[in-house]
Amino acid sequence: MRRIWIPQLIASLMLLWALNTANPYGYYILLRWICCAAFAYLALQALVQKKQSLGWVLGITAAVYNPIIRVHMTREIWSVINVITIGIAAASIIALKVNEAKNTPVDKQVKGAH
């Protein structure tokens, strides 16, 4: 069983923690690296599953968190973006899992049910 939800869980937990204003600057740098990598990976997974729209959303999300070419915004705007990103991560769990179940051969689905 693939665990496609692990990148979303890690990113979401880090994004929730990022709402704490007492975090050191280094935490936000780490957050950018983790989110960029996680959402780039998820974008590729969406494209493999032929979900181009989701792939674009996840790819743009990865670009927003790009640690090399940074997008500079105020802390308040970043907080809103972080909450929206958590929603995107949650939606991608459902979207990618639904398609994964559709791509599983019937005999594997029946076998897994026993």
Tens of each residue's pLDDT in the chain, 114 residues: 466 688 899 999 999 999 998 999 999 999 999 999 999 999 999 999 999 999 999 999 999 999 999 888 998 999 999 999 999 999 998 888 765 555 554 444 445 555
**Domain presence at residue 114:** no
**Domain presence at residue 62:** yes
In degrees rounded to 5, what are phi and psi of residue 17?
Answer: -65, -30
Q: Give the total number of structural domains in the chain.
A: 1
**Domain presence at residue 81:** yes
**Domain presence at residue 69:** yes
Distance from C-alpha of 18 to C-alpha of 102, rounded to nearest angstrom: 35
**Domain presence at residue 43:** yes
**Domain presence at residue 65:** yes
Global confidence as pTM? 0.80
User: Between helices 25-48 and 75-103, what is the axis angle to 10°?
Assistant: 30
Closest by CA position to 85, among listed 3, 27, 12, 31: 12
**Domain presence at residue 57:** yes
**Domain presence at residue 112:** no
Cβ atoms of 81 and 64 closer than 8 Å? yes
Instruction: Print the domain residue range for 14.
Output: 6-106
